[in-house]
Amino acid sequence: MLKPTLLPNTFILEGRMARIYTRSLTPGVAFFEQESAWKEGGVEYRELSPRHSKLAAALAKGCQRFGLQEGSHVLYLGASHGYTPSFVSDMVGAGGLVHCVEFSPVVMRDLVFVCEARANMSPILASAAQPREYAWRCAQVDVVFQDIAQRDQLGIFLRNVAMFLKSGGTGMLALKARSIDTSRRPDEIFRDIKRQLGERKDVTLIDYRELAPFEKDHAFFVVKKR
C-alpha cells in the first residue's frame, strides 16, 4: 500500500521509508536503467531510489521541509542525466516547470531526451556559476535545488537563490564535503556551512539532514528566502 509523503505526488510503501514512488507523468515510459514501476489502483508509479538521489535520501532521512508543491516552478542546478529531475517533474505535475541546468554536454545528451519526453522540463546547457548567462532562458521560481560537486557550492547556490528564487521560496542544497575540501573532516565542513548560512540575512536555515547511509559525506540544507 502506498502512503502519501510531504512531497507532492510522492508516496512510500507502507512501513518502508526507503521505498519511494512518484506518480508517473509518462505512464509506460521508463527513462533509467535503475528505475522500476509499480501499479496500484490503475495508476503507474516510478520508484525513486535514495541511493541515486539526494532528494530521496533527504526524504528517507526525515526531512520535513521541501517547499515543493503541485504546480511549483523549480530551478534544478546540476541536473546531470535527469534522474532526480525527472522525478521532480512527476512531483510538480503538468502545471509545474523544471528548469534543468547542467554544464556537461556529455550528460546533457541524455537530459535532452528526458526533457523532450516531458512537457514540464526545460534544458539549459550552462554553468550554474554564471547565473546571468541563463537568466534570459529561465524565470523566477518557487524552489531552487542544487546538487553540483564544486568547491564553491555554497556561493553558487546563494547567487542563484538571490537571482531566481521568489521571496518566501525554498532553496535546497545537497552538499558534498569532499569537493569543498578533501583534507578537512566532513562534519567540520557541515558545521562551517551551517554557520555561514546562519549568519546570512537573505535566507533562514529551516532543515538540515546528513544523508548517510545513502550518500557518504553529504549533507542536505534547506533554506527559506526572506
Partner 1 sequence: MREILHASGAYAIAPDGVVHAKPGANAPASGEIAAQWAALPEREIPSLLHAVRASLDDDHKAALRAANIAITKEAMRASVAPDSHIIHASAAIEELDSVANRLSKRLRDWYALYYPELEREHRDHKAFVAAVLEYPRRNPASMGGEFSEEDLASALSQAQLLSTIYAQRELMLEYIERMMRLHAPNVTAVAGAMIGAQLIAIAGSLRRLASMPAGTVQLLGAETALFRHLRNRNARPPKHGVIFNHRLLQLAARERRGKVARTLADCISIAARVDYFKGGLVADALVAKVERSVKG
Residues that bind partner 1 (CB under 8 A): 73, 97, 105, 108-109, 112, 115-116, 119-125, 132-133, 135-141, 162-164, 166, 182-183
Buried b / exposed e along 81-101 (16+ C-beta atoms within 10 A): bbbbbbbbbbbbbeebbbbbb
Asked if 107 and 81 count as a contact pair (C-beta separation under 8 A), the reply is yes
Query: What does 17 bind: partner 1, ligand SAM, none (CB cut-off 5 to 8 Å by kind)?
Result: none
Instruction: Look up residue 221 and give its amino acid.
Output: F
Per CB under 6 A, does 129 bind ligand SAM? yes
Per CB under 6 A, does 96 bind ligand SAM? no
Per CB under 6 A, does 150 bind ligand SAM? yes
Query: What does 138 bind: ligand SAM, partner 1, none (CB cut-off 5 to 8 Å by kind)?
Result: partner 1
Query: What does 43 bind: partner 1, ligand SAM, none (CB cut-off 5 to 8 Å by kind)?
Result: none
Cα(106)–Cα(126) distance, rounded to whole angstroms? 13
CB of 29 to partner 1, least distance (A): 18
Interacting residue with ligand SAM among 8, 50, 67, 78 (CB under 6 A): 78
CB of 184 to partner 1, least distance (A): 10
**Positive or negative CA dihedral for 192, 198, 199, 204?**
positive
CB of 58 to ligand SAM, least distance (A): 11
Residues 6+ apart with CB under 8 A from 188: none
Helix runs in the chain, H state only: 54-60, 83-92, 105-117, 131-134, 153-164, 177-180, 186-198
